[in-house]
Amino acid sequence: MKIVPHLLLWPVVCGFTSENSSRSSSDLARLTSSGTATSAEDALALLSEAKALRQEASMLQEQLNREKEERIRKEREKVDNLIDLLLFHGMNPESNTSEESKQQLLHTEEQVAQLLISKRMSFDMVNQCFDRIVEQANRPQSIDSCSPLLSLLLDAACQVDCIERKENPNKRWNGRVERDLRKKLFVLGYGIRIEDVQKKDAIRSITGEKDYF
């Protein structure tokens, strides 16, 4: 077979020599290695960033929990002071007065009723006092057996409820405080929180759900 000389020069002209081929393979390997290293660095950077974000979220949650606990503590302290103001004679919030001594310092029903008017108490404020007294009681509360403090508060509220609305200087009073709280005390005797019942009723009014017996 006759060999054509110019065909032998074609690989040289096009640059496809063994030296160039070896160099291209080396460059490709180096690029691949560099890309792998970069991907590993990016992954480590993302992991580090995710760890930092988790730590930041954890610290933020702890701060929110502390703020919530402090808010609850302040609210309880405020209600405790309100109970002392309404039900007891000259109570000092800082003193550690015994329960027996407190019994002796109780206001009369008429005095509590007057304070409910003069301090412009609303149902929500009296309800907070009710809940706090129940919370601090050492036994379940019911209509037949309730704390003397609850009894005094409800009897005084009844007196204010009986005042004609136009004659009551306390315009925050809705005239149904004693009735609503006695209803609440009644269901407490059966271990039911009336707020849970009201919440369920509100949901049913929206969804149309009914009880089936």
| pLDDT at residue 40, as a whole number | 80
Cβ-Cβ contacts under 8 Å for 114 (sequence gap 6 or more): none
Residue 15, token pair as written in the block: 């640059």
What's the confidence (pLDDT) of residue 212?
Answer: 41
What pLDDT was estimated at residue 203?
Answer: 77
Distances in Å between the Cα of 201 and the Cα atoms of 156, 180, 196 are 30, 16, 9
- Mean pLDDT per 10-residue run, the chain (213 residues)? 48 49 55 66 87 92 93 94 91 55 79 96 96 92 93 97 94 95 93 79 69 43
Q: Name the residue type at position 129.
A: C
Contact 157, 180 (CB under 8 A): no
Q: Which pLDDT belongs to residue 104?
A: 62
Half-sphere exposure of 30 (CA within 13 A, CB side): 6
Whole-angstrom Cα distance, residue 201 to residue 208? 10
Conformation bin of residue 191: beta by default, left when phi > 0, alpha when psi is -120 to 50: left
pLDDT recorded at residue 210: 59
Q: pTM of this prediction?
A: 0.66
pLDDT score, position 9: 45
